[in-house]
Amino acid sequence: MGTIVTYTYNDGVATISMDDGKANVLSHTMWEELEAAFDQAEKSGAIVLLKGRDGIFSGGFDLKEMAKGPEQAILLTARGSKMARRILAFPTPVIAVSTGHCIAMGAFLMLACDYRIGTDGAFKTGLNETLIGMTMHNFGIELARYRIPANYFNRCVINAEMWTPTGAITAGFYDQIVPAEQLDQASQMAAKGFSQLNMTAFNGTKNKSRKAFLQLLDECIESDLIIPDGLAI
């Protein structure tokens, strides 16, 4: 499929794996390859398993690209928002498999997925934007508000608390935590469970129930494309 994203298909399940050999940063190249992989999965009508490399799902946006200037940072952020929005409306189930650390935009991708499996271990999950000097974008705030329990919203979004795998369940990032050696088995079991659903009904209910939320996210994406001097990109 690409140089840092691989795509495999087996018995109705598409496995999309990110592996840049490092922190799985979300660069333009990563977004391009993820978009192509999701195109293929959608064409096949496949249930998706989205996973990272051993020890890390994703460390978030490529900060080197973000540092090139406000316009470049906004464009990269918008690509992430559009990918998360696509997952939220994707016609078949998207199961996220967090293979380790899951930070910033990586955690937003986790929040967008239909079911989230985390790996037990000395891993951290959370939204660290205010910790590293970034004001949260509108899209991120509203996605977090939608998926994170109300009593954890401030702690996650404003206070930038980081969570152990077990704590990340309570904070709304994961649905299940398993030991690393059981991750593949748990992923396949989740995919098998979703395969029992009627996909037309799944897609219809998913998108009908999220209609107003998806419209709000579209508005957020547009407002986030305004650079500091007030001009839209």
Residue type for position 94: V
**Cβ count within 10 A of residue 79:** 20
Q: What is the CATH number of the domain that holds 93?
A: 3.90.226.10
* Range 8-34 burial, b when 16+ CB lie within 10 A, else e: eeeeebbbbbbbbeebbbbbebbbebb
Answer whether residue 1 shows pLDDT above 70: no
**Cβ count within 10 A of residue 6:** 15
Confidence tier at 232 by pLDDT (50, 70, 90): low
Residue span of the structural domain in which 58 resides: 5-195
**Residue 69 belongs to a domain:** yes
Quick: pLDDT tens for 114-148. 999 999 999 999 999 999 999 999 999 999 999 99
From residue 203, alpha-carbon distances to 91, 103, 194 in Å are 5, 28, 12
**Residue 64 belongs to a domain:** yes
Q: 7 and 37 in contact (C-beta within 8 Å)?
A: yes
Quick: pLDDT tens for 106-115. 999 999 999 9
Quick: pLDDT tens for 25-69. 999 999 999 999 999 999 999 999 999 999 999 999 999 999 999
pLDDT (0 to 100) of residue 221? 98
**Residue 126 belongs to a domain:** yes
Confidence tier at 227 by pLDDT (50, 70, 90): confident
Domain count of the chain?
1
The tokens describing 109, both together, are 């991708």
Q: What is the mean pLDDT of residues 71-98?
A: 97
**Residue 207 belongs to a domain:** no
Answer whether residue 230 shows pLDDT above 70: no
**Residue 204 belongs to a domain:** no
pTM: 0.96
**Residue 210 belongs to a domain:** no
**Residue 61 belongs to a domain:** yes
pLDDT (0 to 100) of residue 233? 64
**Residue 17 belongs to a domain:** yes
d(CA 180, CA 185): 10
Answer whether residue 159 shows pLDDT above 90: yes
